[in-house]
Structures are given as structure tokens and as C-alpha cells.
Chain A
Amino acid sequence: RKEVEQDPGPFNVPEGATVAFNCTYSNSASQSFFWYRQDCRKEPKLLMSVYSSGNEDGRFTAQLNRASQYISLLIRDSKLSDSATYLCVAHSGYSTLTFGKGTMLLVSP
């Protein structure tokens, strides 16, 4: 079983829509979590950290459910510029981050 699993998509949504991605992790010792964004043929960039209490940054909301070992990302009022691949990342307390393969989002006019 992969350590961090995501639906690869693509998720095709119109501008203005609300879209949510989930990600599951297998290592119950994972301590911190992140969402990264990767544009086509570009490097990943941190979108937001995910806190136990949930956190919001503008149109983006991240949630963590430790009991079910999943993380979610909600994007409201989607923009064309949100089209990208969203990578779920878990840190297990050792030295490395484990990345999921990503969920592709395509926002159309």
C-alpha cells in the first residue's frame, strides 16, 4: 500500500465552482501535513500546511482527520489559474516528506 494516496483526477470544473480533494496516508505516526501545488513542467510550491484544527487561506481550506487518516483540500470559487496538480504530503517524524502522486485540477471558462 502506498504511503500517501490521492485520486489522480483530472477534476474538470467550471470557473466559480467549489472542488474538494482527499488524500489518505497509511503511516499513523505522520505528524505534519502539507498541500503543494505543481504547475505543468514546473517545480512544486507550498500551498499550505494542514493543522489539526483545520485552516483556511483565502479560498483554500485544509482539514485533517487523524482518526480516518485523511487530509482534504477545498477550493472555493475556482479560478482558471487554479489549474494545476495538487500534491498531498506527509511527514512521519523521520527526516523525509512523503509525497502523493498528485491530483490534477482543470478549471475551464
Chain B
Amino acid sequence: GAGVSQSPSNKVTEKGKDVELRCDPISGHTALYWYRQSLGQGLEFLIYFQGNSAPDKSGLPSDRFSAERTGGSVSTLTIQRTQQEDSAVYLCASSLGRVGTDTQYFGPGTRLTVL
């Protein structure tokens, strides 16, 4: 069946521009997560959705970062006024239900480069 998909796969933008990253989770998965991974670094948690609500957004690095999820499905991560340090691979994952119990399935990621 279809896995987690993300778009675009690559995004190059200029410093100061806004970008929007999209995640389509596996159908029926209620939990959705955003992470980012910088070169040589581990996965950094950004935000977690259960349904359309975000009970944990503690990982968002600044108020330039926001995310929403609609219809319990698609999620978008928006980065405003991008900075060079925002360059990373942004990974989305989904799981059937409870985090820590149900397997997280990752999408292929969006590679963001801020020039």
C-alpha cells in the first residue's frame, strides 16, 4: 500500500523567503510527526499531531516555524523568513495510534536548502 509521501522532495530557496512543506500520511494513521535532520546530526523532533490537534509542539525552534493538519490527514510545515540554518532534511512520519507503541513510518523527506 501507499506509504508516507512528502513534497517537494527538494526545495532550494533564498534567505528570507517562506516555504511550505507537505506531508501525506498513511491512510488511517491518526498520529503524525515532523522531524528535521541536519548533516551529521540525529533526528530533531519538531511537532506531533494527534488528529488535527498538536499536543506537543515543543520542538519547533522558533516562531518562524508553524504546522497544521487538516481533516486528520495532510499536514503542512511552514517556515517563514527562512535562514541558512534552516537547511536540513525535513522528515514526516505517521503511526496508527499511540506513539511509543505503534510503529512510526517515515516519508522520504524534503531536502531544504536555504541560500
Chain B, Cβ-Cβ closest to A102: B42
In the complex the two chains form, is A43's CB within 8 Å of B100's CB? no
Bound: A9/B104 CA distance, A: 25
- How many chain A residues touch B (Cβ–Cβ < 8 Å)? 20
Q: Does B8 contact A (CB under 8 A)?
A: no
In the complex, are the beta carbons of B42 and A87 less than 8 A apart?
Answer: yes
CB distance from A86 to the nearest CB of B (A): 12
CA gap between A87 and B33 in the complex, in Å: 17
**Contact status B100-A87, CB under 8 Å:** no
For the complex, is B68 an interface residue (Cβ under 8 Å from A)?
no
Asked whether B103 lies within 8 Å of A46 as measured between CB atoms, the reply is yes
Shortest beta-carbon distance, B4 to chain A, in Å? 8
Q: Contact: A46 with B104, CB < 8 Å?
A: yes
A-B contact pairs, 27 of them (CB 8 A): A4-B42, A31-B100, A43-B107, A43-B108, A43-B109, A44-B43, A44-B91, A45-B106, A46-B103, A46-B104, A87-B42, A87-B43, A91-B99, A91-B100, A94-B56, A95-B55, A95-B56, A96-B48, A96-B59, A97-B33, A97-B99, A97-B100, A97-B104, A99-B45, A100-B42, A101-B41, A102-B42
